[in-house]
Structure 1
């Protein structure tokens, strides 16, 4: 079973592919205060939970969603159709780093998808290229809440500088030509809800589909749960910042 399929199943009960609750998602989006005719771009949109909610909050906006997962984009299309939003969103199956746009955007999102550009610094440079002067970016990224032990770095296949601490993460984003105008640091309860949903959805699916695929799904769920509970819980944080392009 490939990674994209595992991710699609894991997010069945938590389509927001980040440890962010719906009230905080709404707050982050609402503070962008988009006007009529606003253009939104979501890089690594997954099932487009953020994008579709933005379109609900701002009836005069349109959006583009970009992702490499065909199953996630199919779910996004179904959700858009079900919510009466299909005529206001365009979905693109391609790597975020390869997406091209003819016009700039008013809001660019990249929440939990900075790996698509090879890291936070490259993501900020990529996002900035898509924004109109004075436009907004909504970026969600991990950070070290506590210094990671060498054993955790091995478990995550990460290096100590893979993430910064929270002040360092803010600095990395602002150094790319932005200023933070709002932010949300995910609470432990949000992390737990996200992780229990992720591992639980996969486990339930595995039990309902005995065989090689079920075995693979269960193994992925148990490995992930062990890495979370016995590894990064309370060490790896997540922050989502609303930023304004300053030049």
Structure 2
């Protein structure tokens, strides 16, 4: 059980594996008014930057679960680097099925709602892991601008317009599922650029060093096509944010 190697190559030395930058992640932590000792379960925790920096800055404790062995190892190294390895731990495993020993104060799935086949199913997963009155965090794309055609939809890595809501529709969906939206921090075009462009540099450096690798042709095509796709479609039409929710 692991992610394809291309994911690890693409993310390279990035610590935040979504369109947030460090400033936005810190803003979110402050906005949530996290108390020392707050227990967090981070599903699809990537390289652990959310848990590690919030443990350092706010004194939270918690567990991150991710399917990638490389990302899990990087998260453990980051926890040691920041001196929080006694407060947070990282588990290699299936985030959708992982159950903590006790319900947590905050359960997160930031940018991986595929674990529940969409927002509604992911909220159900998070709800089953929360204490009464606990908070869920969901990271999810949304349409900034209504896509005019199927080429735009596919350029944003969607199969149809229905794959994403617009922002009012997404907020409405939270309410329909029985949750109050209590905070949100949204990516902007600059943070999208920083995330997307970092992939291009990672890919180019890897290609320069691995020209004969079996993945080289596939990743060469990605590096050729993705910058055009990003500037033509994704940065204009697709938004992304993290939404804090409490069940009604």
User: TM-score under structure 1 normalisation?
Assistant: 0.90
SS of structure 2 residue aligned to 1:101:
coil
Give the structure 1 partner of residue 68 of structure 2. 69
SS of structure 2 residue aligned to 1:100:
coil
The unaligned stretches of length 5 or more in structure 2 are none
Residue pair 1:207, 1:214 contacting (<8 A) in 2 also:
no
Question: Cα RMSD over matched residues?
Answer: 1.9
Task: Return the alpha-carbon distance in structure 1 between the equivalents of residues 183 and 158 of structure 2.
Answer: 31
Cα deviation digits, residues 58-113 of structure 1 (max 9, x gap)? 22x21110111111111111111122222222222222111112211111121111
User: TM-score under structure 2 normalisation?
Assistant: 0.90
The unaligned stretches of length 5 or more in structure 1 are none
SS of structure 1 residue aligned to 2:96:
helix
Q: State yes or no: 1:162 paired with 2:163.
A: yes
Residue pair 1:106, 1:135 contacting (<8 A) in 2 also:
yes
Residue pair 1:37, 1:62 contacting (<8 A) in 2 also:
yes
2:223 to 221, 224, 237: 221
Equivalent residues in 2 for 1:1-247, closer than 5 Å: 4-59=4-59, 61-148=60-147, 149-155=149-155, 156-212=157-213, 213-246=215-248
Residue pair 1:13, 1:198 contacting (<8 A) in 2 also:
no
Runs of 4 or more, structure 1, over 6 Å off, are none
Question: For structure 1, which segment, 15-24 or 213-222, has the greater mean C-alpha deviation from structure 2 after superposition?
Answer: 213-222
SS of structure 1 residue aligned to 2:50:
helix
SS of structure 2 residue aligned to 1:86:
coil
Cα deviation digits, residues 185-209 of structure 1 (max 9, x gap)? 2111111111111222121122122
